[in-house]
Amino acid sequence: MERRGPNVSTVVASWTMAIWQGLTRTVRAAIQIEEEKIYRPEAHYMRGPGPKWREKHPRARGSSPR
């Protein structure tokens, strides 16, 4: 009985799929890294104007305190 090895087209298809999966994994990782760099203000606690802003914008005399 003759023993047959793997079909050449099957091997090529397997290699192609492995390369494609590696490429898509790399692209997805790169996209995820770029998304992490996007500034999202809701992720930071923002308390309003600070002392420097208050120095530049003094309150009017008739305004009520907070």
Which residue is listed with tokens 């995820």?
A: 32
CA separation for the pair 21, 19 (Å, rounded): 6
CA separation for the pair 64, 66 (Å, rounded): 7
Helix (H, G, I), strand (E, B) or coil at 43: helix
The tokens of 54 are what?
A: 């208050």
For residue 66, is pLDDT > 60? Answer: no
pLDDT at 5: 67
- Confidence class of residue 65 from pLDDT cuts 50, 70 and 90? low
Break the chain into its structural domains and give their ranges.
8-56
Tens-digit pLDDT profile for residues 3-57: 676 788 899 999 999 999 999 999 999 888 877 777 777 777 767 788 888 899 9
The tokens of 28 are what?
A: 């997805």
